């Protein structure tokens, strides 16, 4: 068995090369060795069955692990039937991996001992490090430093173990019930790996690999995504996330993997109480929900709200063929679930198209008179199960009119067993005999999704007590216990289709800054950016701004105005002045030289020295805004929304992480709630998306080139004849020449 | 037993009188007799166990129904062991109720036969009526007419039966597993009553009454709400809704009931495919989601998105004490679920407050060093169960610092049975012996919510295979299989608290119209409303408008302007002109007589005859809109949103059904997405909510008084110094003088 499993692992590597060509490199992923060790030293197990370490080691030994297990115990000579060793130094050889479930204070020394004998992979389950405060943080640094010194890669600390159902290998507290599955999990909460075995089994879900990442001191959640992405047995990936420390790498890895395999993730963070709990747990960094929305969208990660969806939607994506269009057939034997599925499909952006006359005629011939054949098909209660499980599904799958099928209402023994006691009061029938007449042969149905290459999802109010549900579980057809959940899961298939169909993420970097931009920033480095220099910098990135000039005297201002052409705008221009409008330092719509002069004198009456800016007066039918903010651990965040006060009032903004591709910029515009304002709304000219995308992409490049600039606020961007023109620009630099404004465009 | 049950029913009536005093009258509810018959004639059962009628009759007989069952069958002399009668006329006496599961064409005659012998209550399960088209509709009218003639009240047709677990009485296809429950259901889809027995049992949910309403030809869903509202055994009500025909009565009944008992409802409608399915199913009327949101909000109905929540959230509300504040304690033995619960609580508007130092100290003493005592409390894996199930819960319930408790992670035999086979490989321990040491006594915990009057919700990944879950089910402590679901259910408790705490719904009607209003409408009845008369009508309802006057000549216009004071606005004024602005028929900001004259001549150059309107020029810092639309089956719908193009662009509007109370109007303003614009936003003066509420309430009264007016659009309403002033008003009458505008404020 051990050898055949090795062969499987080798096949895995063959697949890697394929993946590698498709951009899914996994060279030197530290998890590869860790998930497939030939020998494991286990420190922290005894013969007392109430301790976590003992239970974990017991599961390792009894769970079919084909390699060697070497318990380490200071006193016991035999642990769980295996010879035990007093310490690491006494081990007969350096095992491929060590597992530590020992008291916190012993961990750093033991890491070093493993290093000395040559073991290079550790799973550190012990808790009590960074997540507990300063002292724990010091201990963690110490252990990390010692591991680094010996070239040791490790998972944890404060994790709950790993699972590889293909080997099998199980280091968690719960025995694995289903081997050789195809959903891979990685979680920042150990319980979602270790305490869900029974739940997954009840729902027919079989894992391929599962990894509790703990404090991610060395191996991170991102390494797990990379590993699972390359693992041939893993067909979809589920993640539980409380915070990502390196969003840039997450984006790189996940966007590559998600083009091949669906990734489903729950992000829990952003709320104060959630953060309080999260930080006490893994010390991971929570951030505003907007940032993670952007990150997941760009990375092609399907975001869900519950851990249930991580498992169940992940399982559906792992087992079913991918969706290739948005048309769904809904087949039920009762109206409510059909209506609910159709309604939820619509919400998810799927279509439940009325069938062609031809298909309706074929289906109607199989239905009682009062049943509907239009889609949803409602067979009503009266009909035999075969119509629901074979005849009509075959018509639907082969029709060419739909891309997926959802069926509600298939059941046999679950319902039969409910009725049996009553029936037996009248007829002397045995369960066996009754079951023979009632049990449905589902073989044709469970084959259809794979034969026709279209996903099939099942909804049923019965569980594993029903033979049909058991059969679906055996054949890896996903079952949902509420009609809406099946429809929502189908929505996840659609999101993955969208991710697969779009161009690859823009990961090429931002190139080098234009020489003119470098000069402008150098000049602004000390003095800060005034509006004029900020706009000059924008223009260096091809971002259109209002035509304008800086003037120091009235005569200069007049000359500028006559070059630009009346009417003009006159405003004070200094890096030290914020909120010009509120201070009365902006004069709009100056029709002629007289008006200009009056405005100039008004400005000078308040301020003798500041230069003034003479700009063209823009006539816009809409105002937009764009901006840039920075967040620790994240690439620069480019923000887009309606201009003026609306973006702030409505919190209706879109965020993307730089650098942006054209696709990101366009999707960003369409994703604000008020996106229809960008179209030819109320007779206005539609926004030139291409030009606006240049603004957003330019902002992203600029932000990458100049980390000195901590914040940018372009508001308003006037839409003139459909073209965006920046009318006001604010840039804040890190050296604090200009303090940050109120969090106007902070996502 | 029969007599004692009668006693219970009598107690029920005693409770009615109490309810009646509290406004929950149920006099003559037709369901009362139907749910508690002493004798039932059943037409449509045979001795063939594959037909629906037989199964239903079998469940009735074997399910413990204490009354008489009289089968009717044209040929069989004995059905299911009872003497059968050939037809209705041959019955030995008139039973309290008849049940019909016979071919569609036989139903009308049989209804009449029951009428002739004196039976006055029928459950008509047979389908094939209105839901199938025109012919079925005729049959349904016929049966309704014959029933009316004999004073028969009936449920259905096209329903799947009723359940009363207190009697017990079960007319559905599935045997009831749990008697004497406390969640009442009424559903427009029969499957949600008849096909969920096994599901409900698995989730520990016990129904009190359940009603499948079918086509609602006579008894409606609203009758069910009224009945369940008065039923002493029903502590919360769950509804599945595809359409409400009489929204006004729904509002009256549900708003009365929901102040006493929580009502949870799923509305499925509004999408095209959903409506296609819904109409084929019960022929109920689907409508825009906005309308139902408004209806549920005003009726105090807790709206949910899935049928799972109807059951599970309904069950939680039925079994637990109501919430009296928003503070939740979260107690877990693992970080992820704690974080997820805290995060979801925040989303639901609940607080997960950090405990006082005192409580933290008490709790911390019970935790291992690295565990968090702040809230969420994370005990981590290592700890004995008693801390999770008794010691800390008691501290939390008695602390006075929280209003509810959510616990995740309690388990015993579910986990034990997973480990048992492995343990038995090392230790010769029996399941019984191990269970003795592991099984947790949950008696103290299950008592706490009732002792302290605070709800307790449980989250666990284990199901009924775990002894703890079984115990929670027995003691009616709700269990959720995903942490987020428990938190969302707690959100429903908060919504019910909000409904209970607000003033009763405004059901007093709209009074009589002001005499001035009657005169204005009479004048407009033929000619339609021009802007001037529309505003005059608004003023009759106390709605402030811009000061303005109508003029036929330039001299009149000048006189008006000098009375109003410059600057003024000049616009054409005719019921026949829409879109004045787009046509260039509005001149703003006329500073003096010269400007007025120029504008007047410009208007006249386009139109020689139309009167003009001279109005004050309003200087607003924000623009709002309000309106009124009508929808079949619904009271007039009052609409509110931001003015200008924003309400339309963002679909950010709030709707309430007239008549509005002050509370409705205020809640409406706060419920738009851009509500913060109404506050002292960016230094502007806050909107005078009281004045704006007068506008909205006035609109509602006006709409009730004059059904002739089919649509009203007040846009913009200028906010001047915080006070709303209607600047433009459009009223459309049914006689079509003015065609309806593009669906600007149609919800």
pLDDT digits (tens, 9 = 90+) for A46-80: 999 889 999 999 999 999 999 999 999 999 999 99
Nearest-by-Cβ selection for A482 from B307, B335, B682: B307
Among B57, B205, B277, pick the best mutation site for testing chain A contact (most A Cβ within 10 A): B277
CB contact at 8 A, A715 and A643: yes
Q: CB-based contact (8 Å) between B422 and chain A?
A: yes
pLDDT at A288 over 80: no
The pTM (predicted TM-score) of the whole model is: 0.91
pLDDT in tens, B309-331: 999 999 999 999 999 999 999 99
pLDDT digits (tens, 9 = 90+) for A695-718: 999 999 999 999 999 999 998 999
Q: What is the pLDDT of residues B416-434, one digit of tens each?
A: 999 999 999 999 999 999 9
* Confidence band of B13 (pLDDT split at 50, 70, 90): very low
pLDDT at residue number B285: 36
pLDDT of residue B2: 29
Determine the Cα–Cα distance for residues A270 and A248; give it in Å rounded to an integer.
Answer: 19
Q: Locate tokens 């009944």: which residue?
A: B253
Angle between helices A531-540 and A515-527 (to 10 degrees): 160
Q: Which residue of A has its CA nearest to B191?
A: A334
User: Which residue did the predictor score with more confidence, B681 or B535?
Assistant: B535
Buried b (16+ CB within 10 A) or exposed e, A199-237: bbbbbbbbbbbbbbbbbbbbbbbbbbbbbbbbbbbbbbb
**Rounded-to-integer distance, Cα A314 and Cα B48, Å:** 44
Question: Could you tell me if A428 lies within 8 Å of chain B, comparing CB atoms?
Answer: no
Of A563, A564, A543, A537, nearest to A723 by C-alpha is A543
Kindly list the structural domains of chain B, giving each domain's residue range(s) and its CATH number in brackets, ordered by start: 37-158 (3.40.50.720), 161-319 (3.40.50.261), 323-501 (3.40.50.261), 513-544+618-747 (3.30.470.20), 547-616 (3.30.1490.20)
Q: How far is A595 from chain B (nearest CA, A)?
A: 19
Report yes or no: A354 at the B interface, CB cutoff 8 Å. Answer: yes
Which residues 93-152 on chain A approach chain B with CB closer than 8 angstroms? 104, 127-128, 131-132, 136
Residue A240 reports pLDDT greater than 50: yes
Whether the pLDDT of residue A631 is over 80: the answer is yes
A324: contact with B, CB 8 A cutoff? no
Give residues 492 to 531 of B whose Cβ lies within 8 Å of A: none
How much is the pLDDT for A271?
57
The reply to whether residue B62 touches residue A268, judged by beta carbons under 8 angstroms, is no
Rounded Cα–Cα distance for residues A420 and A416 (Å) = 6
Strands A568-572 and A622-629: unpaired
Q: B143 CA to chain A: closest CA distance, Å? A: 17
Q: In which band, very low, low, confident or very high, does the pLDDT at A272 lie, cut at 50, 70 and 90? A: low
Residue with tokens 């219970």: B8
Cβ–Cβ gap A645/B131 under 8 Å: no
Cis amide bond preceding A168, omega within 30: yes
Q: Does residue A281 belong to the interface with chain B, where contact is any CB pair within 8 Å?
A: yes
What are the residues whose beta carbons fall under 8 Å from the beta carbon of A508, sequence distance 6 or more?
A659
Q: What is the dihedral of CA B72, B74, B79, B83, to 10 degrees?
A: 70
d(CA B277, CA A340): 9
CB contact under 8 A, A277 and B409: no
- Pick A306's closest partner by Cβ from B58, B482, B681: B482
Is A240 in Cβ contact with B415 (below 8 Å)?
no
pLDDT confidence tier of residue B470, bands split at 50, 70 and 90: very high
Among A314, A331, A335, A374, the strongest candidate for a mutation testing the B interface, having the largest count of B CBs within 10 A, is A335
pLDDT confidence tier of residue B606, bands split at 50, 70 and 90: confident
| DSSP assignment of B118-153 | T--EEEE----SGGG-HHHHHHHHHHHHHHHHTT-E
User: Measuring CA to CA, how many Å separate A551 from each of A540, A613, A639, B544?
Assistant: 21, 6, 32, 48
State how far the Cα of B31 lies from the Cα of B220, in Å rounded to an integer. Answer: 10
Round to whole Å and give the CA distance between B395 and A37: 46
Residue B729 has pLDDT above 60, yes or no: yes
Q: Does A273 touch chain B (CB under 8 A)?
A: yes
A326-367 pLDDT, tens digit per residue, is 999 999 988 899 999 999 999 999 999 999 999 999 998 888
Cβ–Cβ contact B281 with A under 8 A? yes
Query: By percentage, how much of chain A surpasses pLDDT 90?
Result: 72
What are the residues facing A187 on neighbouring strands?
Answer: A212, A240
The pLDDT-based confidence of B282 (bands split at 50, 70, 90) is very low
Contact: A277, B427; criterion CB under 8 Å: no
| Contact check, Cβ <8 Å, A343/B269 | yes
- Cβ of A273 within 8 Å of Cβ of B345? The answer is yes
Distance CA A253, CA A505 (A): 11
Question: What mean pLDDT is reported for chain A?
Answer: 88
8 Å CB contact of B195 and A270: no
Closest CA to B312 of B188, B491, B467, B448: B491
Are residues A339 and B277, on separate chains, in Cβ contact within 8 Å? yes
CB contact under 8 A, A673 and B650: yes
Nearest C-alpha in B relative to A271: B343
Contacts of B651 in chain A (CB under 8 A): 673
Helix residue spans in A335-482 (DSSP H)? 335-347, 357-364, 385-386, 392-398, 413-424, 431-438, 443-452, 467-474
pLDDT reported for residue A481: 95
Q: What is the pLDDT of residue A368?
A: 76
> In B, which residues are within 8 Å of A374 by CB distance?
276, 280
Find out whether B29 and B98 touch, Cβ atoms under 8 Å: no
Closest Cα to residue A325, out of A490, A504, A503, A505?
Answer: A490
Contacts of B132 in chain A (CB under 8 A): 369-370
A267 contact B CB<8A:
no
Whether B336 sits inside 8 A of A199 (CB atoms) is no
For residue A683, the chain B residue with the least C-alpha distance is B582
Task: Using pLDDT thresholds of 50, 70 and 90, give the confidence band for residue B743.
Answer: very low
Phi/psi of residue B407, nearest 5 degrees:
-120, 135
A347-361, B228-242, B379-393: which range is least confident on average?
B379-393
Q: How far is A735 from chain B (nearest CA, A)?
A: 28
Contact B370 A202 (CB under 8 A): no
CA distance linking residue B327 with residue B714, whole number of Å: 41
Percent of chain B scoring above 70 in pLDDT: 90
Whole-number pLDDT of residue B738: 46
Look at residue B740 in the predicted model and tell me its pLDDT. Answer: 34
Q: Considering only CB atoms, which chain A residues are within 8 Å of B104?
A: 370
**Binary contact (B58, A426; C-beta < 8 A):** yes
Three-state DSSP at B169 gives strand
- Which residue in the set A336, A337, A418 is minimally distant from B198, CB to CB? A418
Shortest CA distance to A482 belongs to which of B490, B224, B202? B202
Whether B338 and A277 lie within 8 Å, measured CB to CB: yes
Helix, strand or coil, per DSSP, at residue A162:
strand
**Which 3-state string (H, E, C) describes A250-306?**
HHHHHHHHCCCCCEEEEECCCCHHHHHHHHHHCCCCCCCHHHHHHHHHHHCEEEECC
pLDDT band at B303 (very low <50, low <70, confident <90, very high): very high
pLDDT at B588: 86
Q: Is the pLDDT of residue A736 over 70?
A: no
| Residue A370 to residue B276, Cβ atoms within 8 A | no
Interface test with B, best of A195, A306, A744 (most B CBs within 10 A): A195
Q: At residue B736, does pLDDT exceed 60?
A: no
Number of A/B CB contacts below 8 angstroms equals 324
- Residue B741, pLDDT score: 35
**A58, A158, A273 ranked by CB distance to B342: nearest:** A273
User: Minimum mean pLDDT among A11-20, A111-120, A178-187, B669-678: which range?
Assistant: A11-20
Instruction: Identify from A51, A188, A191, A463 which residue to disrupt to test chain B contact, counting B C-beta atoms within 10 A and taking the largest count.
Output: A191
Chain B partners within 8 Å of A268 (Cβ): 336, 339-340, 343
Residues 6+ apart with CB under 8 A from A721: A685
Task: Compare all CA atoms of chain B with the CA of A58 and give the residue at the minimum distance.
Answer: B422
Residue B643 confidence (pLDDT) above 80: yes
pLDDT cut 90: percent of chain B above it = 73
Contact A52 B346 (CB under 8 A): no
CB contact under 8 A, B47 and A426: yes
Flag whether residue B300 sits within 8 Å of chain A, measured between CB atoms. Answer: no
């Amino acid at each position: 068995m051990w050898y055949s499993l090795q062969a499987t692992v080798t096949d895995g590597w063959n697949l890697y090369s394929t993946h590698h060509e498709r951009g899914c490199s996994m060279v030197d992923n530290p998890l590869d060795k860790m998930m497939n060790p030939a020998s494991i030293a286990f420190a922290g197990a005894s013969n007392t069955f109430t301790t976590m370490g003992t239970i974990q080691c017991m599961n390792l030994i009894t769970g079919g692990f084909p390699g060697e297990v070497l318990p380490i115990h200071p006193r016991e000579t035999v642990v769980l039937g295996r010879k035990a060793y007093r310490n690491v130094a006494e081990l007969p050889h350096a095992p491929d991996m060590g597992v530590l479930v020992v008291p916190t204070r012993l961990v750093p020394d033991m890491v070093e001992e493993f290093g000395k004998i040559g073991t290079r992979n550790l799973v550190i389950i012990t808790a009590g490090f960074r997540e507990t405060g300063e002292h724990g943080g010091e201990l963690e640094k110490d252990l990390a430093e010692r591991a680094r010194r010996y070239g040791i890669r490790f998972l944890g600390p404060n994790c709950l173990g790993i699972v590889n159902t293909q080997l099998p290998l199980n280091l968690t507290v719960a025995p694995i019930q289903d081997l050789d599955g195809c959903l891979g999990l990685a979680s920042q909460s150990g319980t979602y790996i270790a305490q869900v075995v029974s739940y997954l089994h009840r729902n027919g879900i079989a894992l391929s690999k599962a990894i509790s990442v703990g404090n991610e001191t060395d191996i991170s959640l991102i390494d797990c995504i990379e590993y699972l992405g390359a693992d041939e047995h893993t067909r979809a990936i589920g993640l539980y996330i409380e915070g990502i420390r390196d969003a840039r790498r997450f984006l790189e890895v996940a966007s590559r993997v998600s083009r091949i395999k669906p990734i489903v993730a729950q992000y829990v963070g952003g709320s104060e109480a959630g953060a309080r709990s999260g930080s006490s747990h893994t010390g991971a960094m929570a951030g505003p929900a907007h940032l993670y929305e952007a990150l997941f969208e760009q990375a092609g990660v399907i975001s869900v709200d519950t851990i249930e969806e991580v498992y169940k939607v992940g399982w559906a994506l792992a087992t079913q063929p991918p969706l290739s269009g948005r048309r769904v057939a809904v087949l039920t034997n009762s109206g409510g679930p059909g209506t609910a599925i159709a309604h939820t499909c619509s919400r998810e952006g799927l279509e439940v198209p009325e069938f062609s006359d031809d298909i309706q005629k074929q289906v109607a011939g199989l239905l009682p008179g009062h049943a509907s054949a239009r889609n949803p098909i409602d067979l009503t209660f009266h009909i035999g199960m075969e119509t629901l499980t074979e005849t009509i599904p075959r018509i639907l799958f082969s029709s060419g009119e739909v891309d997926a099928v959802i069926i509600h209402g298939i059941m046999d023994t679950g319902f039969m067993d409910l009725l049996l006691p009553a029936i037996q009061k009248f007829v002397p029938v045995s369960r066996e005999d009754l079951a023979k007449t009632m049990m449905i042969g589902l073989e044709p149905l469970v084959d259809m999704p794979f034969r026709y290459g279209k996903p099939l999802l099942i909804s049923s109010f019965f569980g594993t007590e029903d033979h049909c549900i058991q059969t679906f579980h055996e054949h890896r057809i996903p079952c949902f216990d509420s009609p809406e959940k099946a429809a929502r899961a189908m929505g996840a298939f659609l999101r993955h289709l969208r991710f697969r169909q779009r161009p690859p993420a823009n990961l090429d970097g931002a190139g080098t800054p234009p020489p003119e931009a470098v000069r402008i920033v150098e000049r602004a480095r000390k003095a800060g950016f005034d509006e004029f220099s900020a706009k000059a910098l924008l223009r260096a990135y091809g971002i259109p701004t209002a035509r304008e000039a800086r003037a120091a005297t009235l005569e200069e201002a007049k000359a500028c105005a006559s070059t630009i052409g009346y009417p003009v705008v006159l405003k004070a221009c200094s890096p030290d002045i914020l909120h010009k409008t509120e201070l009365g330092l902006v004069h709009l719509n100056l029709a002629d030289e007289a008006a200009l002069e009056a405005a100039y004198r008004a400005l000078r009456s308040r301020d003798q020295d500041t230069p003034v800016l003479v700009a063209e007066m823009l006539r816009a039918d809409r105002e937009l805004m764009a901006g840039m903010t920075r967040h620790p651990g994240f690439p620069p965040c480019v923000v887009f929304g309606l201009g003026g006060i609306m973006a702030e009032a409505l919190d209706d903004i879109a965020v993307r992480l730089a650098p942006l591709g054209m696709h990101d910029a366009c999707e960003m515009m369409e994703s604000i709630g008020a996106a229809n304002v960008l179209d030819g709304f109320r007779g206005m000219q539609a926004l030139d998306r291409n030009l606006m995308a240049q603004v957003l992409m330019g902002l992203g490049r600029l932000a990458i080139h100049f980390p000195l600039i901590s914040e940018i606020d372009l508001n308003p961007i006037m839409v003139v004849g459909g073209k965006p023109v920046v009318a006001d620009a604010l840039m804040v630099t890190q050296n604090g020449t200009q303090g940050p404004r109120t969090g106007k465009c902070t996502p």
